Each structure stands twice: as C-alpha cells, then as structure tokens.
Amino acid sequence: MVSLADRAGVPLLVAQNYRYMRAFRTARRLIQAGTLGRIGMVVGHYYRVPHAMAASLSSLTDSVLWGMGIHHLDVIRYILRTPVTRVLADSFTLPWGTLLNGASIQTMLTFEDATRALYSASYESSGHEVLRRGQEFYLRFVGERGTLHVCHRWLVLCENGKLPRPVRRGSRNVTEERILLDQFERALAGGEEAESSGRDNLQTMAVVEACRRSAADRPG
C-alpha cells in the first residue's frame, strides 16, 4: 500500500489514534523535554477480562497482539522516537482460556539507544471486570533523573530527590481523530508527510511481525 501510494502520488495515513491520547502526548512531551533524562527502561502491562470479540479477531492466533498490542507498541515507539533493533516474544493462552493460542503475550524490545522495553498483554485476565469495562493499561518510563507512571488518564512524575507529583494532561481541544484528519488534510493540500503515515507505520508493523515470528519460534 505504501508503494502504491508513492507511485500514485497520494498520501496514505494509518489511524494510530492511541499515540494522540492526551496521557501519551504528555508523556512524550516530558520525555522529549529531558525531564526524565535518558530513558533506560520502559514497562507496559495491559489486561482485559474475557469479552465479546469480532469473529475476525477471535479466530486469530496472537489475537491480543493484533487487537491491542499493535496500538501499545506503536505508542511506546512513538513516545521514545527511537527505532527498535531486537525483539523477543512469547505468546500463550492461560490455563482456563478459551481463545486460540496467543490470547496473552510477553515481549522484550531493545531500541537503538539500548533502551529496553518489557510489554505484556492478555485478553484472559480476571478480577477487575468493573474497572474501565474490564481493561487496565499501565506504562512506566524509567530515566536517569526520575520515573514517569502512566495509568489510563493519570500521570505521576517521580523525580530524583522530590516527592511524587501528578501531571496534568491538559485540555482536550481536539480529539485524537481530529489530529489524524488534520494531518491528512495537510498532506492532501500541501504534500506534507503525515506523522502517522503509512511509511512510518511500517516500523510498527515490523515490530508486530517480529513479535509474531519470535513467539512462533519458541518451543511449546
């Protein structure tokens, strides 16, 4: 699709709207401003209780990777703005699970600047059905000057030698979808390369495909 768009001279944009949620935009701004110093480690966990899924997704192996993992891995890549150089992954189904293999996954990413990221996700978690429709997502960025915690809409900054403090996300002047549509409009009107272009998304797709291949290569 990227090659076809290039040959036709038309813009191609991918709706990776998670990267534009206020919490993630705020995390990116703080990290790019150097508030945490160099980032050495990122930890992300996503849990969701069993739920009704589209047949096209529930019939897939690695369903959580293609359903939610792709968005979260894109967010981590977008915030750090550094290419991924190595992937190690293992997908599985919990003992009581009913979905095909890959309803849960654990991954480790290595970035070009030696940052490590640990990410796990499951569609077969339990015990928090009343929390945000049974979903929970947490990100932790560990830097040399402090740590940033992101849990849903809440951000807590823990700078070295200081008390933890909440960080405001700011007002939601425009929606995530509006940000994407504005990019698309500028690409159409002035030929500006969209931040969430198809070419940029190839990097996210490469990470997801590497996770899938790594998990498939592991015994058991």
Q: Quick one: tokens of 157?
A: 């900054």
Distance CA 67, CA 215 (A): 16
Residue spans of the chain under pLDDT 70: 100, 218-220
* Angle in degrees, CA 63, 153, 56, rounded to 5: 15
pLDDT of 219: 62
Domain annotation for the chain: domains and CATH numbers = 12-217 (3.30.360.10)
**Structure tokens given for 76:** 């981590």
Copy the structure tokens of residue 193: 């390369």
Q: What is the pLDDT of residue 220?
A: 54
The predicted-structure confidence for 176-214, as pLDDT tens digits, reads as follows 999 999 999 999 999 899 999 999 999 999 999 999 999
Distances 18 to 13, 65, 163 between C-alpha atoms, Å: 14, 15, 29
pLDDT, residue 77, reads: 96
